[in-house]
Amino acid sequence: MKPDNVEEIEALLDILPRRLFSNNPDLKDFIEIILDLGKAPEVRFANGSFTLLDVTPVTRDDIEFITTAVGSFTSDNRAGIERTLHRISAIRNRHGSIVGLTLRVGRAIYGTIDIMRDVVESGKNILFLGPPGIGKTTKLRESARVLSEELNKRVIVVDTSNEIAGDGDIPHPGIGRSRRMQVQSPDKQHAVMIEAVENHMPQVIIVDEIGTEAEAQACRTIAERGVQLIATAHGTALENLMSNPTLSDLIGGIQTVILGDEEAKKRGSQKAVLERKAPPTFDILIEIRERDMLAVYLDVAKAVDISLRGRVPRPEIRVRDEKGRINIEKVEEEMVEPTDSEIEEATLEKDRKLTRIYPFGVNRADIERGVKALGLPATTVGKLDEADIILTVKSKAKSSDKIISLAEEHAIPVHVIKKNVSSQVMKFLEFFFRGGQQESEAEALLEVEDAIEQVLKKKKTVEVSPQNSYVRRLQHQKVKEAGLKAESFGDEPKRRLRIYPQ
């Protein structure tokens, strides 16, 4: 459903020189107007474009007429019209003078997220991908309106180019009751994202065009603090993110792992393989393939793992037909094909007793992600009387606090971390479940370096202390760099490296 945009369209047409457009067809449905110095104007529509050949080419006076009407351009060569969603972008010559303009109409279109409303309302972090002009920003704007107005959530829009909420100090009503934070220049977007979380207590943050390493890190920081994040990124498909070293962290990051001979043989693969190195920042990824066709990856971690195994992940396809009906093509649950070693580990897992963790003041999702990433025999519970242990933060573990007295009453041990952040949760899980191993990766790598030195000097086989699979892979890389060979042996949790002389 489209609201009445006539007044906003008129606001854009009013800044155009009358001599260029007074005798031409109705322009109410146009998408862009292109004005380049010395060329005839071009008008672009959704299904094509036409050039105004019946007028003289664009002059410097025409360009000055428009730039005077819209005011100053920002450092990214963009300007707007106050309280509208229109965007005017400039092309400059080598001396800094404007020689071309792209005037893009902005329309607030309601009802665009009905095709994915269940996903937006899920509370999970969502990343949109799609080519320019396909409607990513429109969906961000509508998400902001629905979450703030209809679900009464505290929403902040970080609006770097004023495309989401329009130009001027008063945001466009298309974002509903959301608050808008403007950004002075694109290179400060990541700082404003963090400022939004620290200063304004949002439940949801919405941001357009994640494109730098600093912004990707800001996204992870926001996700760790339990704030829902909805964003767009450069690219059209999941594969674009996987091959982009700057943005791959959004989906967990990709690393090269060197397997030992025994492990590579079990997997039936080469020794150098690609693996995801961390839980994804975004839980759900949506490819906007057409305006009314979405490919939805409801489990980004699984989709990445499947792709790294050389298979093609199958997203859920959602389509709105000509009659407005929404059709969802669900796919059967696709599991990542397990290796022999993974099957063996799963068998051992069944025999282990699950440790039930009751989180108090700690993000439950962080615990569950950490348990899954580390493959631990643990689960979270929602009732204190079901728990084996309590995990809380330092600020809530005072002797006078009720949780401590309840823990004593139920004879449940309490474990404390400094802050409610995922890094602290991961550190606790590794220490609690793998306490027999060395506490830090740095110590493990120093140990393997000393072992390599002994092998080279004494020409004898040397074994190192047991480590988890991730640290063992780092140790394997060190051994290979030294020109030696090593293999992993033993059973978990005492599996360790044995390094051989040349």
pLDDT tens per residue across span 338-373: 544 444 444 554 445 688 999 998 988 889 888 877
* Confidence category of residue 438, pLDDT binned at 50, 70, 90: very low
Residue 422 has phi, psi (to 5 degrees) of -65, -35
Class for the domain spanning 441-500: alpha beta
- Cα–Cα distance measured from residue 93 to residue 326, given in angstroms and rounded to the nearest whole number: 47
Which has more pLDDT, 466 or 113? 113
- Cα–Cα distance measured from residue 289 to residue 46, given in angstroms and rounded to the nearest whole number: 15
Residue 67 predicted with pLDDT over 60:
yes
- Cα–Cα distance measured from residue 108 to residue 172, given in angstroms and rounded to the nearest whole number: 9
276-328 pLDDT, tens digit each: 988 999 999 999 998 889 999 999 999 999 988 878 888 999 999 888 899 99
Q: Tokens in use for 354?
A: 């699950």
* Confidence category of residue 214, pLDDT binned at 50, 70, 90: very high
Distances (CA, A) of 137 to 104, 146, 232, 351: 13, 14, 8, 50
Query: For residue 486, which amino acid is it?
Result: A
Spatial neighbors of 136 by CB under 8 A, at least 6 apart, are: 128, 129, 130, 208, 232, 288
Residue span(s) of the chain under CATH 3.40.50.2300 come to 350-433
6-104 CATH fold: Beta-Lactamase (3.30.450)
Residue span(s) of the chain under CATH 3.40.50.300 come to 117-329
Task: Give the CATH number of domain 117-329.
Answer: 3.40.50.300
Rg of the chain in Å (alpha carbons): 28
350-433 CATH fold: Rossmann fold (3.40.50)
Q: In the predicted model, what is the mean pLDDT of residues 245-257?
A: 89
Which has more pLDDT, 487 or 266? 487
Residue 267: name the closest of 345, 334, 348, 369 by CA. Answer: 345
Kind of pairing, strands 126-129 and 228-233? parallel
Number of helices and strands (H, E) in the chain?
Answer: 16, 24
Q: Tokens in use for 391?
A: 């995990």
**Contact yes or no for 116/296 (Cβ under 8 A):** yes
Q: What percent of the chain shows pLDDT beyond 70? A: 87
Phi-psi region of 299 (alpha: psi -120 to 50; beta: other; left: phi over 0): beta
Residue 112 predicted with pLDDT over 90:
no
Distances (CA, A) of 395 to 118, 403, 429: 36, 12, 19
Residue span(s) of the chain under CATH 3.30.1370.50 come to 441-500
Residue 124 predicted with pLDDT over 80:
yes
Residue 106: name the closest of 130, 140, 67 by CA. Answer: 140
- Cα–Cα distance measured from residue 406 to residue 274, given in angstroms and rounded to the nearest whole number: 46
Q: In the predicted model, what is the mean pLDDT of residues 427-442?
A: 66
Tracing tokens 């099957």 back to the chain, one arrives at 343
Residue 162: name the closest of 87, 91, 90 by CA. Answer: 87
> Packing angle between helix 364-374 and helix 422-433, nearest 10 degrees?
50
**Contact yes or no for 492/345 (Cβ under 8 A):** yes
